[in-house]
Amino acid sequence: MSFFKKIKEKIFGSKEKKVANLDKYVAGLSKSRLSFLNQIAQLQKKHIKIDDDFFDELEEILIMSDISPNFVNTIINALKDEVRFHNIDNPKLITEIIMDKMYTIYSNRSIVNINLNVKTDRINVFLISGVNGSGKTTSISKIARKYVLEGKKVLIIAADTFRAAAVEQLEIWAKRVGASIVKPVTNEKDPGSVVFRGLDFAIKEKMDLVLIDTAGRLQNNVNLMQELAKINKIISQKIPDGPHESLLVIDATTGQNGVSQAEIFTKATPISGIILTKMDGTSKGGIVFSIKDQLNISVKLVGLGEGMDDLQPFDLDLFIFAITKGLKNQYQI
């Protein structure tokens, strides 16, 4: 069975109802899909056979799609081995092999865990980090809404004491989605004290989920590390096994710069997963592979649009399908 047919079968034969999220992936990744397919089509049109020049241009296409050079090098080497082994020289036959290798390399590097660590018998605590403008506030709101709709008691702790606007936005969103909120009191500048009060409230009110918003300043890496370390210590004192998720929000449109920002945050606090926002706004979907390659952290949620339901669990099958949908004869349903 071909790779594309396997992906199709995993989606349309899935008991997990992957089909329900398929339209969101296809719509949200339309820019990346059109860009990638157009570049591959032009490459195949230009070359009548697979040779070193073909691979050089393919390498450039993949790097320009925001895939890290190291990951691209691994893909190219795997492709060359495959082409030699099967004696393939027709460029039109290589697209499926490219996606197969990308999928396999991504999956094989480590366990891909996209599930959020939520349990019913405890107060679940999510620490959420990210630079200003990354979509952190909106992501927190969408996560809160999801769990409120599931009947959970959700608390948002607005611990970004340096941005009054962020606190105001979270307060508005909390009211809209039906979540509780703990925010800084007048002249309260210490994020740790806000988190302390918030967790006391969560324990008293027996909340199911606590979402902690943190400051997104990168200008002073030392302060960032100290602040996040203090917040983590307070969480562990109040909720001994917390935080249960430490999620980093990255704006997909920032490309490699976003990955560089992530490297700074990983030095400040352990990161359990990535929320990759604004995927609908970029034509370079390769950042998904760069994050895995450079940080070895799984993308757990992807922002595929501005709607409240457009923050979706990351699914590699759906991602590959959406990026390649439209290739002639690949997905006949």
Residue 277 annotated as binding site: yes
* Residues 142 and 219 occupy one common structural domain: yes
β-bridge mates for residue 182, sequence order: 157
Tell me if 108 is assigned to a ligand binding site: no
- Asked whether residue 133 is marked as a ligand-binding residue, the answer is yes
- Annotated binding residue 132: yes
Q: Which of 50, 84, 108 delimits the end of a domain?
A: 108
Domain count for the chain, please give it.
2
Residues 202 and 293 in one domain: yes
Residue 318 domain-assigned?
Answer: no
Does residue 11 or residue 281 have the better pLDDT?
A: 281
Q: Is 269 annotated as a binding residue?
A: no
Q: Which two tokens stand for residue 59?
A: 């390498």
Does a structural domain hold residue 174? yes
Contacts of 89 (CB under 8 A, 6+ apart): 49, 50, 83
Question: Is 78 labelled as part of a ligand binding site?
Answer: no
pLDDT exceeds 60 at position 1? no
Measured CA to CA in angstroms, residue 27 lies from 125, 304, 318 at distances of 32, 8, 12
257 and 295 both lie in a single domain:
yes
**73 shares its domain with 186:** no
SS3 127: strand
Residue 113 domain-assigned?
no
129 marked ligand binding residue: no
Q: Does 220 lie in the same domain as 259?
A: yes
pLDDT of 40 over the 70 cut: yes
86 in the same domain as 45: yes
Question: Which residues are registered as beta bridge partners of 158?
Answer: 213
Is residue 324 a part of any domain in this protein?
no
User: Is the residue at 63 inside a domain?
Assistant: yes
Q: Is 278 among the annotated ligand-binding positions? A: yes
Tell me, what's the pLDDT at 85?
93
279 annotated ligand-binding residue = yes
Residue 140 and residue 213 in one domain: yes
Is 136 marked as a binding-site residue? yes
Q: In what order do the strands lie in the sheet with 311-313?
A: 180-182, 154-158, 209-213, 124-129, 245-251, 273-277, 299-303, 311-313
The domain spanning residue 34 has which CATH number? 1.20.120.140
The percent of residues in the chain predicted with pLDDT above 90, rounded, is: 62
186 is in an annotated binding site: no
Domain hosting residue 159, numbered range: 124-303
Q: Are residues 219 and 285 in the same domain?
A: yes
Same domain as 229, residue 147: yes
Dihedral (CA of 165, 166, 170, 171) sign? negative
**238 and 207 inside one domain:** yes
- Give domain status of residue 43, yes or no: yes
Task: Give the model's pLDDT for residue 285.
Answer: 86
Decide which of 83, 108, 133 is a domain's last residue: 108
What are the pLDDT digits (tens) for 302-323? Answer: 999 999 999 999 999 999 889 8
* Residue type at 281 in one-letter notation: G
Residue in 247, 155, 164 with CA at minimum distance from that of residue 207:
155
222 and 88 in a common domain: no
Q: What is the pLDDT of residue 109?
A: 64
Residue 316 lies in a domain: no
CATH code at position 180: 3.40.50.300
- Does the annotation flag 249 for ligand binding? no
215 annotated ligand-binding residue: yes
* Interval 156-213: pLDDT, tens: 999 988 888 889 999 999 999 999 999 999 888 899 999 999 999 999 999 999 999 9
The answer to whether the pTM exceeds 0.85 is yes
Eight-state DSSP code of residue 187: T
Q: Is 324 annotated as a binding residue?
A: no
Write the CB contacts of 125 (distance below 8 Å, at least 6 apart in sequence): 199, 202, 209, 210, 212, 235, 239, 242, 243, 244, 245
Taking only the tens place, the pLDDT of each residue in 114-148 is 889 999 999 999 999 998 889 999 999 999 999 99
Place of tokens 């030699």: 84
The CA distance from 35 to 37, in Å, is 6
What's the Cα-to-Cα distance from 269 to each of 114, 124, 159, 266, rounded to whole Å? 19, 18, 16, 5
Let me know whether 61 and 184 are in one domain. Answer: no
> Does the structure show a pLDDT above 80 at 20?
no
Q: Is 286 annotated as a binding residue?
A: no
- Burial (Cβ within 10 Å: 0-12, 13-18, ≥19) of residue 220: exposed
pLDDT tens digits, 42-101: 999 999 999 999 999 999 999 999 999 999 999 999 999 999 999 999 998 888 899 899
Whole-Å CA distances, 212 to 112, 144, 224, 247: 25, 11, 15, 10
Contact 77, 84 (CB under 8 A): no
pLDDT, tens digit (0-9, with 9 covering 90-100), for 225-270: 888 989 999 999 999 999 999 999 999 999 888 888 888 888 888 9
To the question of whether residue 117 is assigned a binding role by annotation, the answer is no
Residue 4 inside a domain? The answer is no
Q: Do the annotations mark residue 251 as ligand-binding? A: no
